[in-house]
Homo-oligomer: A and B are copies of this chain.
Amino acid sequence: MHSLSDDIFSTLLESILSDQIAAGERLPSERELAKRFSTNRNTLREALQRLEHLALIGIRHGQGITVQDYRKTARFDCIAPFLVHAQRPEERFRMIEDLLRVRSRILEMCVELAASRASEEDIQRIAELIDAQLVHHQDNDRDALMRTEIAMIDAIVDASHSLMARWLANTLLDVYNDFSPHTAEMWVADESFPSYLASLRKAIAEHDAGTAASITRSYYQSIDATIIRVLEELLHSATLEA
């Protein structure tokens, strides 16, 4: 699962995202880097190519390799590694805060699309997964609930019949997977959880896109506010420790 070039990539990735190498700084030559990592140029170059495609470094023929200012140049897919490696607590906090905003808006869109485009099979599957969640919620089975919630979101994305939604969701799932060790405390359920799910099922079954979107919007507004409150406390205690 992890090749040599993966390791080199990860090492350099961490160096950059944790600001151990400043933006604008020049890296040693490929030959020199290959020596330092005890490997050859080809394998090293694989790692460098990846960093370049993430817009973390710039490689120019005859000139060398420079570290870019990833805060300005990076793309959406840099979020997962950034959350893993970023050092400043307040920057991580803001990233998560803004990520929640994006998540709720994307989910709102997916739900809206799913409600308008879902087939009978889609509706059936979503309803089943909602029922399963309600059972897990009553049983207080946290793990099963988390798994089923992911599965339901996946089903909703499928039901939206949108490549756009699927690809966006994949990117967000990457963030979730890479970051899941730290997301346990972020998985909060509001008291309105069961009624939200029931309304959602009904809205999707009736192809009522407007209602589906608006209840999702307001539910996540509430959830996200709770999560941010929890994170603020964590940030405060971390700041006090430092």
Which A residues contact B (CB, under 8 angstroms)?
Answer: 42, 45-46, 49-50, 53, 55, 71-79, 82, 91, 94-95, 98-99, 101-102, 105-106, 108-109, 113, 162-168, 170-171, 174
Contact = CB atoms under 8 A, between A and B. Distances in A.
A163 B99 CA distance: 10
Contacts of A166: 71-72, 74
A75 B163 contact: no
B77 A77 contact: yes
A45 B43 CA distance: 11
A164 B94 CA distance: 9
A78 B76 CA distance: 12
B46 A98 contact: no
A109 B102 contact: yes
Contacts of A42: 42
Nearest to A108: B105
A105 B98 contact: no
Given A46-B49, A53-B50, A163 B76 contact: no
